[in-house]
Amino acid sequence: MSSPAISIVTPSLNQAEYLEETLTSVLDQGFDGLEYVVVDGGSSDGSVEIIKRYSNRLSHWVSEPDRGHADAINKGFGHTSGEIMAWINSSDVYLPWTLSTVAAVFRDVPQAQWVIGVPSYWSNAHALTSIHPTFHNRYDFLASHHCTIQQESVFWRRPLWDACGGHVSADLRLACDHELWMRFSRKAPLYHVDSVLAAFRPHLDRRGSVQGEEYHRETRATWDHYRSQASSQDLRRALLVRAGGSRVGRVMRTAARSLALTSWDIPPRIVFDHATQHWTVS
C-alpha cells in the first residue's frame, strides 16, 4: 500500500544555532510523501542562509515578518495538502524512523484521527536523554489545565484539522498547541503510539522553549473556556479522573461504570505486532 502524504511545518525566528539539525531531521529520512514547509519570521542571525541551502528540498519557504508563532504555523499549513499533518519547532528533532512509522500507524489504524509518540528529550550533545510515557483521554484535558502533551510528538489527519477549524489560535502567544488539543479532544480520542517519534530540546537560556508562567496562564484560560462549554456529564467524568487518575481503584471503577463511561476513558494504545508486522490497537 502507498504511504499517505505527510505535511510538516517548521516555524522559526532567529534559531540558527539549532535550525539546521531540525531541518535535516525531517529531510534526511528520505520519505517520498513528505511536504515540508519552513516559515521564518524575518531572522537576522543567519537562519535564512541555512534555509536556502535546503530550499531545493522544501515544498515552500518564506522569510518575512509575521504576527507570531501561531501566525507562522497557519501560514505554513496554508501551503500544504498532505493527508497527515504536524509541525516541529526549529530546535526540536524527529528520529530517523519518525515519518515512516507515522505513515504506517495511520495506515494500519484507520480509526485513529490523532496520535502521540512517547514524549522524549534531546540534549545539545545530540543525545536522547529521557523518555516520559504519558496516557491522556479527553477527561484528562477537562480535569486539569496542567494536562499538556508534547507538541512535536503529535500527528493528525487533515479531516480532523478541518473539522476543528483548520487553524491554531493566533490569539495565544505560547499555548496555541494546547488550545488545538482541546478542540481535537472534543472530536476524537488521542491514540498513544509505543514509539519515540520526536524529541524536545530544553535550552539553558530558555530560548526556543515555553515560558512557564505565561504558558500556564494561557492554558488555564483555554481550560476555563472549554470547561464552560462541556456537558455536566463530561464534567462529572472529569472529576472522577481528577480524583482517581487514569489508574482508578476499585471504588473509582465502580463509580465510573455507574456513569456509563465509554472506551474514550481508556487512552487507546497502538503497539507493533511482530507476528503480523503491523501496528495494532492494544
Query: Position 75: which residue type?
Result: K
Q: What is the CA radius of gyration of the chain?
A: 19
pLDDT surpassing 50 at residue 8:
yes
Average per-residue pLDDT for the chain: 88
pLDDT surpassing 90 at residue 203:
no
Q: Say if 1 falls within a structural domain.
A: no
pLDDT surpassing 80 at residue 165:
yes
% residues pLDDT > 90 (the chain)? 67
What is the rounded distance in angstroms from the CA atom of residue 69 to the CA atom of residue 259?
40
Query: Position 149: which residue type?
Result: I
Q: Say if 53 falls within a structural domain.
A: yes
pLDDT surpassing 70 at residue 230:
yes
pLDDT at 214: 86
Residue 220 lies in domain:
6-281
For range 112-139, the mean pLDDT: 88
pLDDT at 204: 52
Place of cell 534559531: 15
Q: Say if 164 falls within a structural domain.
A: yes
Q: Which three cell numbers stand for residue 243?
A: 480524583
Give the global pTM. 0.90
Q: Structural domain tally of the chain?
A: 1
The b-or-e profile of 29-41 (16+ CB within 10 A means b, else e) is: bebebbbbbbbbb
pLDDT at 209: 46
What is the rounded distance in angstroms from the CA atom of residue 263 to the CA atom of residue 181?
19
Place of cell 511482530: 274
Q: Say if 135 falls within a structural domain.
A: yes
Q: What is the pLDDT of residues 62-113, one digit of tens each?
A: 999 999 999 999 999 999 999 999 999 998 999 999 999 999 999 999 999 9
Give the range among 133-137, 209-213, 224-228, 273-277 with minimum mean pLDDT: 209-213
For range 125-142, the mean pLDDT: 84
Is residue 211 very low, low, confident or very high in pLDDT (cuts 50, 70, 90)? low
pLDDT at 12: 96
pLDDT at 178: 94
CATH value at residue 26:
3.90.550.10
Helices (H), 32-117: 47-53, 69-77, 98-108
For range 254-260, the mean pLDDT: 49
Three-class secondary structure of residue 161 per DSSP: helix
Q: Say if 239 falls within a structural domain.
A: yes
Angle at 57 between CA 56 and CA 62, to 5 degrees: 70
CA distances in angstroms from 167 to 158, 171, 185, listed in the order given: 11, 11, 15
Q: What is the pLDDT of residues 11-55, one digit of tens each?
A: 999 999 999 999 999 999 999 999 999 999 999 999 999 999 999
What is the rounded distance in angstroms from the CA atom of residue 214 to the CA atom of residue 114?
27
> 192, 279 in Cβ contact below 8 A?
no
% residues pLDDT > 70 (the chain)? 87
For the chain, where are the E strands, in sequence order? 6-12, 34-40, 60-63, 84-87, 93-94, 114-116, 120-122, 128-131, 154-157, 190-193, 198-199, 269-273, 278-281
Task: Report which listed range, 4-8, 200-204, 231-235, 264-268, is most confident.
Answer: 4-8
